[in-house]
Structure 1
Amino acid sequence: MAETSAPMRASGPWDADEPHPEHDRIDLGGLRLPHNPDFDVRLASMGDQHIGVVALYEDSSLQLQALAAPRSMSLWDEVKTKILQQSPSLEERQGPFGVELSGEIASEGTTRPARYLGIDGPRWFLLAVIYGKAAMDEEVAAPFVDFVRDVVVVRGAEPMAREEPITLRRPSDQTAEATEGPGLNPFKRGPEISEIR
């Protein structure tokens, strides 16, 4: 497998401008996701903007959101503090991407396991949140962690406010406006992208 230049790290998440393994990914504009046929991948929207991705697998889920970050500093420490203010029962621990948060969070009148992974990149920050059984079980979490390791973040050169979501689009939106309905699967095999609002 010849590549123009070899990646400088063993795994990502990757910045679009750095050398990274070249293989077929789902292009959502601000994020390029690896194909995992076992995952049900959906776009999460706020108003008319796609701001994140949810990947469902068995009884667990992974939420991904990429945010603009200042060139000079990382955002994870700041974001981590905000998360701990809302869910003080979470505990810090070392994970595959450095310090992460894990434990039980209150959600819709009940509690559920959650694991927060924060990855600082060049002018971007990627927040990955694993919910369900995978938040507490490393073996169950492995497919999600591998998925995050192969994500490519496309920050773009335009000025963005700090912590502004890096906008995503459906794979079919490259030339046309988003349309609702089935049959929007431009890639050979892999998840169909649906929306969550």
Structure 2
Amino acid sequence: MPIRRRRRNEAPDRNLGSAGEQADAVETGDAPAGGADEATGPWDAGDSYPELERLDFGSLLVPVGPGLGFQVNFEATEVDAEGNPVNGRPVSVLVQHAESILQVQAFAAPKRSGIWDDLRRETATEITEQAGGQVEERDGPFGTELWAMVPAQLTEEMLNEMPPEVREQIPQEVIEQGYAWQPIRFIGVDGPRWFLRGVVQGAAIEDEEQWQVLEDVFRNIVVIRGEQPMPPRELLPLTLPKEFTEAAQAAAEQSQQPEQADDTFNPFERGPEITEVR
């Protein structure tokens, strides 16, 4: 995937796994602060958006491309007698690229007003007052963003599970204090009756090339709000793409345990995972 630094008012690259002829490029200007830009995305399902290969997560169509991996986070909806999760619902999509992760979620929003300004303030308060972190608002390609530094706990168990080469890179004073500062970048876009949030972690916080890849992914997401009435801030429902089911089936067959293909899918086990979908 060719990558280069892009100016804010420059049209985005269309290099994310094109499926057939792509839509003609349109002249673009700066995106409105905190809002979806009709010329550059993210897109509403009712827009005329570029024709790219995308994974269908129900309310989100997420573009694919070389070097991208995808997973789904689940939230427990049922537990067994011992409190272990046995059932759940998908709540976010994770896009992985190199040493970077983009978490994506879409929410219902009021018809005539956005929710990013309020959510950004609430997130900042939670980070500073509850987590003991630090926050800063910055201007980004999608409007106002929230950059945060959050203390991440380092337990002995976590350190023991790390590969030796990773643990060796952690300064001794950080190990002794028991936590490390973790940078997190929150981006948000208010669309028509929906709000799209992205949370960036990993190398893309500072690595411009890795960020450009994730920015292109976020910019080319299509949100399918649907016509059903929903209260503001309610999570738009997600479903697993057929590619995930096929990946789980293939993994079961490859492990020569075909009976697993008929078992109830356990969302709290790792996977299914799709890497470098083309």
Q: Give 1:15-164 correspondences, 5 Å limit.
A: 15-47=44-76, 48-88=88-128, 89-108=134-153, 109-164=179-234
Taking a change above 3 Å as real, the CA distance of residues 114 and 2 of structure 1, as seen in their structure-2 partners, is closer
**Structure 1 stretches of 4+ moved >6 Å:** none
From the two aligned structures, give the one with the greater helix fraction.
2
Is contact 1:113–1:133 with CA below 8 Å preserved after alignment?
Answer: no
Correspondence for 1:181 among 225, 233, 248: 248
Q: CA deviation at 1:51?
A: 1.4
Secondary structure of the 1:87 match is helix
Is contact 1:103–1:115 with CA below 8 Å preserved after alignment?
Answer: yes
What residue ranges of structure 2 are gaps of 5+ in the alignment? 1-20, 28-36, 77-87, 129-133, 154-178, 252-270
Secondary structure of the 2:248 match is coil
Q: CA deviation at 1:137?
A: 3.1
Is contact 1:102–1:135 with CA below 8 Å preserved after alignment?
Answer: no
Give distance in 2, aligned partners of 1:37 and 1:132: 19
Is contact 1:104–1:114 with CA below 8 Å preserved after alignment?
Answer: yes
Q: CA deviation at 1:104?
A: 1.4
Give distance in 1, aligned partners of 2:246 and 2:89: 14
Superposition CA RMSD, Å: 2.6
Aligned residues: 183
Give distance in 2, aligned partners of 1:58 and 1:25: 19
TM-score w.r.t. structure 2 length? 0.60
Is contact 1:87–1:106 with CA below 8 Å preserved after alignment?
Answer: no
Q: CA deviation at 1:2?
A: 7.5
Give distance in 1, aligned partners of 2:273 and 2:52: 23
Q: CA deviation at 1:182?
A: 4.3
Give distance in 2, aligned partners of 1:103 and 1:2: 36
Q: CA deviation at 1:103?
A: 3.3
Give distance in 2, aligned partners of 1:141 and 1:62: 9
Greater CA drift, 164-173 or 123-132: 164-173
1:165 equivalent in structure 2: 235
Counterpart amino acid of residue 36 in structure 1: G
TM-score w.r.t. structure 1 length? 0.83
Q: Percent same amino acid among aligned pairs?
A: 33
From the two aligned structures, give the one with the greater strand fraction.
1
Give distance in 1, aligned partners of 2:232 and 2:192: 13
Q: CA deviation at 1:180?
A: 8.8
Deviations 1:166-185 (A, max 9, x none): 11111129xxxx6993438x
1:194 equivalent in structure 2: 273
